[in-house]
Amino acid sequence: MQSAKQIKSKEILKILERLYPETPIPLKHKDEYTLLVAVVLSAQCTDERVNKITPLLFAEAKNSKEMVKLGQKSIERIIRPCGLSPQKSKAIYGLSKIINENHNFEVPDNFKDLENLPGVGHKTASVVMAQAFGYPTFPVDTHIHRLAWRWGLSSGKNVEQTEKDLKRLFPKLKWNSLHLQIIFYGREYCPARGHNLENCLICSRYRRKTNYR
């Protein structure tokens, strides 16, 4: 017999697939490397802003070899509007150097090597594995973490636990598209602030007694 949470997850999946049958990748990129850099830049920055900055950066350096030649100071100058430019420029320069020296100028296609790159945590590695290499994974950022708690799909203790909970509830074949569908839905119907319960198909259906985040 299915649990109430399993039944709810199936109904939520139906809603998300009806609203978002296609899941275009929000960050503009041309290959695995430009995607990796864009994801690093997206930390505490909107996708819209990243998409305005990356064409300027990639016009100067479109691959890891050119990025190292461009240098950290020039990288920092270009990406300054994305915020945290000292840390992000150091990460982009550092990961590019390692890709050149240790991975034959190719972005590694496994979690271990990706997570060993500067500025690349599990969430960033998950996005690259899913969107660049098609590996089934479930990237969980703070937005998905919040929504999983709000919808009663996870205890919300930490992002690691939320990832495990969502992977148990949803079919593996849906993971890559589902994490984008949840992000799209959160932006349109279920924001952290100014949330209108009556306009949110999911929250209005599964109203919880506890306070929403």
Q: Tell me which residues are annotated as active site.
A: 123, 141
Q: Residue 62 is encoded by which pair of tokens?
A: 């479109």
* Closest of 52, 20, 17, 48 to residue 184, by C-alpha: 20
CA distance 132 to 141: 18
CA distance 65 to 62: 8
Cβ atoms of residues 101 and 116 within 8 Å: no
Q: What DSSP state is assigned to residue 212?
A: P
Angle at 113 between CA 105 and CA 167, to 5 degrees: 125
Reported residue count of the chain is 213
Q: What DSSP state is assigned to residue 172?
A: G
